[in-house]
Amino acid sequence: MKKSPIKAGVYLVIDPSMELNVLLEKLESALKAGLSAVQIWDNFKRSDIAEIISAIVKLCQQHQTPVLINNQWEFLNDYGLDGVHFDEVPDEKVIQQIGEKALLGLTTNNNLATIKWAAENAFDYISFCSMFPSPTANSCDLVDFESVQKARSIFNGPIFLAGGIRPENLNQLQQLEFDGVAVVSGIMSAENPNAAIKNYQQKLRTL
C-alpha cells in the first residue's frame, strides 16, 4: 500500500449498494475527468463486498486515483486500499494499528476541537459536512462558514467541503478558503458523470 497525496478538486463518494455494473460504468466516466480521490461509503447492503471493493480499487488504480474506505479500517490491507475516511474521531489505538502508510481523512463540522485533533494526529485532509441541506448528508449539522475560515489556521492539509454542493451554489462558497468539494449524488446520479465532474471543476476554477 503506497501513500498517494490527496489533490485539490472533486472528491467522489460512491455508494456500493448500487448495481455493480452501473456503479463501475459511472465511476470510470468520472475518473476520466480527473478526481482528487474516491471514497467507498460503508453502505454495504450485499454479501459480495470483496468483489465490489476489488473492482473499484482496480479501476481507480488504472487512473492513479487514491481509494479510501469509509470507517471500515479493517479492510485496508485486504483490498489494497489507500486509506480510511472516518465520520467520527477514531480511537487512538485504531490509528496506531493503521500505521503511517495509509491516507487518513475525517469528517468535521463546527467543533474546532475535532479539527485540532486531526491536525495533531497528522490526518491528511478534513471534510466539512454539511455546507447545505442534503439528503445524502442528513446526519451532519449545517456548517457555519466561520468554522471553515478558522480551520485554515488550525489545519495545514487539504480542506474539502461537502453536503448539498452543486455547481449552481458553488459561488456561495467563494468567500471561503478550501481545496475542493466532496460530492455524492451530484455525480453518481448524473446521466453523464464525466460532464458533471467537468462542470464542478470549471465552477471551482472561477472562484
Domain assignments of the chain as residue spans, ordered by start: 15-170+180-205
Collapse the DSSP code of 76 into the 3-class scheme (helix H, G, I; strand E, B; otherwise coil) and give the result. helix
- CA nearest to 14, candidates 62, 70, 59, 84: 70
CATH 3.20.20.70 given to domain 15-170+180-205: yes
Which stretches of 70-155 are DSSP H helices?
76-79, 92-98, 112-120, 145-151
Give per-residue pLDDT as tens, 81-117.
999 999 999 999 999 999 888 999 999 999 999 999 9
User: What angle is formed at CA 105 by the lines to CA 88 and CA 34, rounded to 5 degrees?
Assistant: 135
Q: What is the DSSP letter of 38?
A: E
9 or 77, greater pLDDT = 9
Q: Give the DSSP H/E element, type plus range, for residue 205.
A: helix 193-205
Q: Please write the tens of the pLDDT for every residue from 115-148.
A: 999 999 999 999 999 999 877 666 788 999 999 9
Residue of 67, 73, 37, 63 whose CA lies nearest to 53: 67
